[in-house]
Structure 1
Amino acid sequence: MKPVIIPIENKYADAIIDLVLNIQQKEFNVAITLEDQPDLLNITNFYYASGGGFWGAFVNDELVGTIALVKFSDHEAAIRKMFVKKEFRGKEFSIAQQLLQTLIDYCKENQIDDLYLGTVSILEAALRFYERNEFERIEKEALPKSFPVMSADNVFCHLQLKK
């Protein structure tokens, strides 16, 4: 049961919103609403227009994971909307790993040298996942000035792709 990872756009908005809000609100009790995330209502303009992207992982035509990339300068981008449905997490499926690799491959093909992300400290498994993938924690003050900070984020990471 290998997931199919493809670029997704606005026509998948309902499935994306359902997946993301369920994980944020019900599973992790993060106080965030759809109104706080207008990007989910216009994926094409928010992610693709600037040179980023949005990918979905599907198992039997069901959206089970997402990852998005916001390009905020010529060679810098931020990871957003990295979510995998609870039943599909872990090494058995390695969906998160495949999503991240898809995004990193895209970055390398598009001369994006630095990847950043913001998350919340309660998402400890997510932080361990990023650290296993060579992301380093950085202080908020070390972020590039143009990094699009989300209000809920309190932990930040950086991965240098061009060594």
Structure 2
Amino acid sequence: MIIEAYKDEYQDGIIQLIVGIQRSEFNLDITADDQPDLMNIHNFYVTGKGNFWVAVDNDQVVGTISLLDIGDDTVALRKMFVAESHRGKDKGVANQLLTTAFDWAEANQLKAIYLGTTSKFLAAHRFYEKNGFSEIMKSALPERFPMMAVDTKFYKRECSE
């Protein structure tokens, strides 16, 4: 398994992974059309201090993570998804994806990483908290934070100065 920066050749696999998890596992009424960022990943995420990474195993997309530049040396963590077959501490895919994002944040001298998630992603809440994120009130989010309709829980992680 490798983790690499976004390439157009992965777009279809990314959409299948993300929408599949959202709809099948969490019964969210969301489609690819509801997420225009997925149709233009390069221009949406790979700008400023943002980026998008893909975990690939045997030419199949098995994980994603992105950092969206929201200004003032801050980013929003978005689109962190791992295929069910590649989840778990023993697989380490989620940790590798998050480490990649943290390394990027440090190299780009970011101040903080924010994220929003649904209350349904209980395992994700524990994962974020174990990795230095603290829950915050919606009112504490930066003005440019990209709110999703399904977001009900919010987190912040300070980056090293």
Please give the range of the TM-score, normalised by the shorter of the 2 chains. Answer: over 0.9
Report the alpha carbon displacement of residue 158 of structure 1 after superposing the two structures with TM: 0.2
Q: Which residue of 1 aligns with 2:72?
A: 74
Structure-2 separation of matches of 1:87 and 1:11: 22
- The two structures have a TM-score, normalised by structure 2, of 0.96
Once the two structures are superposed, the pairs formed by residues 105-120 of structure 1 within 5 Å of their partners are: 105-120=103-118
Q: Which residue of 1 aligns with 2:25?
A: 27
Q: Which residue of 2 aligns with 1:56?
A: 54
Structure-2 separation of matches of 1:102 and 1:162: 15
Once the two structures are superposed, the pairs formed by residues 95-106 of structure 1 within 5 Å of their partners are: 95-106=93-104
Which runs of 4 or more aligned residues in structure 1 lie more than 6 Å from their structure 2 counterparts after TM superposition? none
* 2:114 aligned counterpart, secondary structure: strand
Deviations 1:128-147 (A, max 9, x none): 00000010000100101111
Which shifted more, 3-12 or 105-114? 3-12
Deviations 1:15-53 (A, max 9, x none): 100000100001110121112100000011000123311
Gaps of 5+ in 2: none
1:9, 1:43 within 8 Å by CA — same for their partners in 2?
no
Task: Identify the match of residue 11 of structure 1 among 3, 9, 26.
Answer: 9
1:10, 1:42 within 8 Å by CA — same for their partners in 2?
no
Deviations 1:93-123 (A, max 9, x none): 1100000000010010011110000000000
CA RMSD, Structure 1 to Structure 2 (Å): 1.0
Structure-2 separation of matches of 1:74 and 1:12: 30
Report the alpha carbon displacement of residue 151 of structure 1 after superposing the two structures with TM: 1.3
Structure-2 separation of matches of 1:126 and 1:80: 12
Gaps of 5+ in 1: none
Q: What is the aligned-residue identity percentage? A: 47
Structure-2 separation of matches of 1:46 and 1:58: 21
Structure-1 separation of matches of 2:13 and 2:21: 13
Report the alpha carbon displacement of residue 59 of structure 1 after superposing the two structures with TM: 1.4
How many residues matched? 161
Report the alpha carbon displacement of residue 60 of structure 1 after superposing the two structures with TM: 1.8
Which shifted more, 56-65 or 80-89? 56-65
1:138 partner amino acid? I
